[in-house]
Amino acid sequence: MKLYSTIDKEKGLIEYTDKKRYLWLGSVFFPLLPLYFISVYLKTNNELIFLIPLCISYIVIPILDWLVGADTSNPPEEIVPLLEDDKYYRYLTFLTVPMHFIVLIACAWTVGSQSLSLFGVVLMAIMAGGYSGIGINTAHELGHKNTWIEKLLAKIVLAVPAYGHFTVEHNNGHHIKVATPDDPASSRMGESIYKFALREIPSTFNRAWQLEEKNLKKLGKSSWSFENQILQSYFISLVFQVSLVLIFGVEMIIFLIVHNVWAWFQLTSANYIEHYGLLREKKANGRYERCKPHHSWNTNYVLSNIVLFHLERHSDHHAYPARRYQSLRNFNDIPELPNGYFGMYLCAYFPWIWFKVMDDRLLNLPHINGDLSKVNICPKKRNLIFSKYI
pLDDT digits (tens, 9 = 90+) for 321-338: 999 999 999 999 999 999
Residue range 114-166, pLDDT digits in tens: 999 999 999 999 999 999 999 999 999 999 999 999 999 999 999 999 999 99
Reported as a pLDDT band with limits 50, 70 and 90, residue 263 is very high
Backbone conformation region of residue 75, classed left if phi is above 0, alpha if psi is from -120 to 50, else beta: beta
Q: Residue 19 CA to chain centroid, in angstroms?
A: 24
Reported as a pLDDT band with limits 50, 70 and 90, residue 198 is very high
**Mean per-residue pLDDT, 72-81:** 94
Reported as a pLDDT band with limits 50, 70 and 90, residue 370 is very high
State the average pLDDT for the chain: 96
| Rounded-to-integer distance, Cα 65 and Cα 88, Å | 26
Question: Is a pLDDT exceeding 90 seen at residue 390?
Answer: no
| Rounded-to-integer distance, Cα 135 and Cα 154, Å | 9
Q: What is the DSSP letter of 377?
A: B
Question: Is a pLDDT exceeding 80 seen at residue 363?
Answer: yes
Domain ranges of the chain: 21-389
Torsion of CA 312, 318, 321, 326, to 10 degrees: -20
Backbone conformation region of residue 291, classed left if phi is above 0, alpha if psi is from -120 to 50, else beta: beta
